[in-house]
C-alpha cells in the first residue's frame, strides 16, 4: 500500500518543487519506486491552451496512483489535440495528396499487451484508438479504412479532414515548390520533393521535429509498472499509405515490464531495419545503462546505412534518429545520432518537468539533419 504524506509535509514539498504540476501527494510503493515520465522534446512544449504539457499531465496522473498507460495517454492526448503541433494528431502535416494519415501504438508492460493503428484518417486521437485495439481485440495492429471503421464502432467521432489552416498552408507551399505549373514525371518528382523540403527546413518554415513528426511517451509508476505510447502524423508529405516505425512494436516502441521501455523519433525506415527499440530493451535486460543501450542501437543504424543517397560526404547518415529510454530503476536517457539544438528529450519527476539535451553518437557538424 502506498505511503501517505501529511498536509504540512505536502505543503513543504510543494514549495520545493513549484515546477511540478501535481496537486496531490506523490504515491510511492513500499519499495520506494518514484514515478517518472520521459518523452520526446515536444512532450514538454505544447499545452493545448491548458496548464500542463504532456509529461506534466502524465506525471500528475501517476502521482495520484493512476494506471501508467492511462497516465501516458492523458499526456499524449494534449499533443494530438493541439493544432500548433504539426507532427502529431489534429493538424499534423499531411501526405503528398494533402490527407492527414495518423499512426499510433501503445504497450503495457504488466499486461503484456499492445495495440496499434496505421494510416488512420479522421480521428484526432489515434493513441486512444490504439488503446481500444489493445483492450477490445485479440489483435495488435489495424490499418487504413478498417482501422477507421473500428474506431467508428468504438464510438470515436470521424471527421472528414484533420488539416488545420497551418498544415494545409505548408502542404500547399510544398506542392507549389515541387510543381509550379504541372505534375512532374515520377523520375523528377521525388528529387523535387526532397529539394523543396530541404529549402523549407533551411528557411525555418518547417520544424525538423515536425517534419518527421512523432511524440513518444514512456512512464514508470510507483508500483514499478512500465508502459509507453507513440503518436504521429508520419513523415511530412509521405507517399499515401506509407507507415513508418511508430506503430510497429519492437521498432517505434517496446516495453518489457521487468526491465523498461524505449521509443524513437526520426527516420522510421532506418529504425525498422533494426527493430531498435526491442534491441535497446534487450540491452537493458543485460544490465546496460539506458544511455549505453541507446548508443548500441545508434551504432547499428549508422553501420547499416549503405545507400549513397542516404550518406553525406563524410559517409554518415543524412538523417537523424533519437531514442528515449527508461528502465525500471528510474534511470533515463535520450540519445541521438547527432547532438544539436533539435536533439532533446523531456522528463518529469516530483521535482518538476525539464527538457534535456540528448547524448549524440556524432557531433552536429558530422552530418546535416535533413530528410532523405
- Other Cβ atoms less than 10 A from the Cβ of 208: the count is 17
∠ CA 158-80-102 to the nearest 5 degrees? 60
Q: Which three cell numbers stand for residue 96?
A: 503528398
Pair type for strands 215-220 and 141-143: unpaired
Do 278 and 297 contact (CB within 8 A), yes or no? Answer: no
Do 222 and 65 contact (CB within 8 A), yes or no? Answer: yes
Do 176 and 150 contact (CB within 8 A), yes or no? Answer: no
Catalytic position from the list 33, 53, 86, 214: 214
Chain centre to alpha carbon of residue 333: 15
What does the H/E/C string look like for 72-138? HHHHHHHHHHCCCCCCCCCCCCCCCCCCCCEEEEEEECCCCEEEEEEEECCCCCHHHHHHHHHHHCC
Q: Which runs of E-coded beta strand occur in the chain?
A: 36-40, 102-108, 113-120, 141-143, 215-220, 226-232, 253-256, 260-266, 321-327, 332-338, 344-349, 352-357, 359-362
Q: What is the dihedral of CA 260, 41, 305, 271, to 10 degrees?
A: 40
- Other Cβ atoms less than 10 A from the Cβ of 81: the count is 18
Active site residue 328: no
Q: Which three cell numbers stand for residue 16?
A: 520545493
Q: Which residues are catalytic?
A: 214
Amino acid at each position: 500500500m502506498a505511503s501517505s504524506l501529511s498536509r504540512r509535509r505536502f505543503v513543504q514539498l510543494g514549495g520545493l518543487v513549484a515546477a511540478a504540476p501535481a496537486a496531490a501527494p506523490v504515491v510511492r510503493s513500499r519499495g520506494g519506486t518514484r514515478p517518472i515520465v520521459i518523452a520526446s522534446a515536444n512532450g514538454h512544449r505544447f499545452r493545448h491552451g491548458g496548464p500542463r504539457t504532456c509529461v506534466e499531465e502524465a506525471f500528475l496522473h501517476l502521482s495520484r496512483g493512476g494506471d501508467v498507460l492511462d497516465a501516458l495517454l492523458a499526456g499524449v492526448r494534449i499533443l494530438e489535440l493541439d493544432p500548433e503541433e504539426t507532427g502529431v494528431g489534429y493538424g499534423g502535416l499531411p501526405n503528398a495528396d494533402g490527407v492527414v494519415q495518423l499512426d499510433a501504438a501503445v504497450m503495457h508492460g504488466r499486461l503484456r499487451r499492445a495495440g496499434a493503428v496505421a494510416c488512420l484518417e479522421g480521428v484526432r486521437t489515434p493513441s486512444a484508438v490504439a488503446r481500444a485495439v489493445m483492450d477490445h481485440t485479440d489483435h495488435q495492429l489495424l490499418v487504413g479504412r478498417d482501422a477507421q471503421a473500428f474506431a467508428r464502432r468504438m464510438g470515436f467521432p470521424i471527421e472528414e479532414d484533420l488539416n488545420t489552416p497551418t498544415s494545409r498552408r505548408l502542404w500547399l507551399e510544398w506542392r507549389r515548390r515541387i510543381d509550379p505549373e504541372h505534375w512532374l514525371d515520377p523520375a523528377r518528382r521525388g528529387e523535387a520533393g526532397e529539394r523543396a523540403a530541404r529549402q523549407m527546413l533551411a528557411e525555418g518554415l518547417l520544424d525538423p521535429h515536425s517534419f518527421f513528426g512523432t511524440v513518444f511517451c514512456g512512464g514508470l509508476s510507483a508500483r514499478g509498472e512500465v508502459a509507453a505510447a507513440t503518436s504521429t502524423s508520419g513523415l511530412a508529405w509521405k507517399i499515401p499509405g506509407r507507415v513508418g516505425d511508430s506503430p510497429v512494436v519492437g521498432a517505434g516502441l517496446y516495453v518489457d515490464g521487468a526491465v523498461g521501455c524505449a521509443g524513437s523519433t526520426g527516420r522510421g525506415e532506418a529504425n525498422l531495419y533494426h527493430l531498435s527499440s526491442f534491441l535497446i530493451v534487450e540491452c537493458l535486460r543485460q544490465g546496460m545503462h539506458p544511455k549505453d543501450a541507446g548508443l548500441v542501437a545508434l551504432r547499428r543504424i549508422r553501420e547499416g546505412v549503405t545507400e549513397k543517397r542516404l550518406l553525406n560526404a563524410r559517409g554518415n547518415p543524412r538523417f537523424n534518429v533519437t531514442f528515449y529510454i527508461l528502465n525500471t530503476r528510474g534511470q533515463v536517457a535520450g540519445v541521438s545520432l547527432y547532438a544539436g539544438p533539435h536533439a532533446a528529450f523531456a522528463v518529469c519527476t516530483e521535482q518538476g518537468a525539464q527538457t534535456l539535451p540528448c547524448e549524440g553518437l556524432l557531433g552536429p557538424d558530422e552530418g546535416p539533419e535533413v530528410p532523405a
